[in-house]
Amino acid sequence: MKISEILKYINGNPEGDIEKEINNVAKIENAKEDEITFISNPLYQKYFSTTKAGAVLVREDFEYKEKPENLTVIRVSDPYLAFLELIELFSKEEDNYIGISDNCYIGEQCDIPDDVYIGNFTSIGKRVKIGSGTKIYSNCTIENDVEIGSNCIIYPNVSIYHKCKIGDCVIIHSGVVIGSDGFGFAKQQDNTYKKIPHKGIVVIEDNVEIGSNTTIDRATIGETRICKGVKLDNQIQIAHNVYIGENTVIAGQVGISGSVKIGKRCMIGGQSGFVGHITICDDVIIGASVGISKSITKPGIYTGYRGKPYYKALKEEAAIKQLPELIEKLKKS
């Protein structure tokens, strides 16, 4: 489309030819004259004078001495978010899959609209409800009494256990398991372990995205709940009866033990771990590889081995670095 048409989607102020045809988006280093790119991080400003792109998104206060002759500059409030809009715009696939494959199994008493897609070798149990526009790709297993909302995308090899509930506009990537039993065993007098039954469910609210190979365990009693807008990375373990508040984002390889409650708008770095039965308040940022052993009641940034407030953790780290010097002084005293 022409740059003049693109401007309708991103609300930008152009400098240059707006009748130029743009066919795709690209990185600034290797963009071509029919592609659009962006500069958000200052590290990439060095490519501005050499880029071959047809157009570039920059911040409203972006300064330059000279621009390439054929480059159209578009000033926007946030180049990164504007570029994301264009990625979606240019990557819309003609994905009009509708219908149920002859190679899948559908159980009795299911409620499945005509505009749903179900791929090869997917198994749908009894009394399953699926909303309009949802796509379930090949080799998925949807067990009895599961409810799935409208306009969901469930990629291949996903397993959703019985009675779990999925909201609208949920994206579930390959290898995800929702509703498996939690890790619960009671030690007996003879030192063997008796399995604790898990009779609860998992509830996934609207607009949640779940990365590949993430597992979300069903509740012992009640529900494990992932609230609307939550974004989960790949390979995350969420145990039984966990509650994750709205618009929280969690990076890969995080482990959350049973009955943890995490508030709204939290950001959790990769490989962090949570002990069971603690509460994290709203608006908490937790760094990568942090162990959280106690509840957090104040918003802020928490880092370090035991999840302490950011500046306190920095002071302790600085003090530890001084230990060898202090030990030498003590030896000489």
What number of other Cβ atoms are within 10 A of residue 195's Cβ? 9
- Exposure on the CB side of residue 138, measured as CA atoms within 13 A: 5
Please provide the DSSP assignment of 229-270 as one string.
Answer: T-EE-SS-EE-TT-EE-TT-EE-TT-EE-TT-EE-TT-EE-T
Q: Which segments of 21-160 are extended strands (E)?
A: 24-25, 35-38, 55-59, 72-76, 99-100, 105-106, 117-118, 123-124, 129-130, 135-136, 141-142, 147-148, 153-154, 159-160
Identify whether the C-beta of residue 14 lies closer than 8 Å to the C-beta of residue 20: no
3-state SS assignment for residue 282: coil
Structure tokens at 156: 């291949």
Catalytic residue list = 240
